[in-house]
Amino acid sequence: MTRTASDDWRELARREGDGLAVTLLWDKATDRVKVAVADATLDEVHIDVARPHALDAFYHPFAYAVGRGLGFGGAVRESSICSRF
């Protein structure tokens, strides 16, 4: 049996609220961390995170992404996103 790259991702934390699901993931093979954000109107988005900033990104994923120049296109409702976190 062959392993896919996604087999090594481990869920470290998960929270849900206000229609959002936010998951903090760690890749055992590469020692990388990322945050996955999903809701009913937004496809799941994965944000690569520097390890020292993992909890910042977990609790404030949109603010973290915007602060690093990452965009989400028209699917994100900018007026309500930052007020959620």
Asked whether the beta carbons of 61 and 47 are under 8 A apart, the reply is yes
Other C-beta atoms lying within 10 Å of the C-beta of residue 24 = 21
- Provide the whole-model pTM: 0.68
Structure-block tokens of residue 56? 């910042």
* Structure confidence by residue, pLDDT tens digits, 18-67: 888 999 999 999 999 999 999 877 678 888 999 999 999 999 988 888 88
Both tokens of 52, joined, read 């020292």
The tokens describing 85, both together, are 């976190």
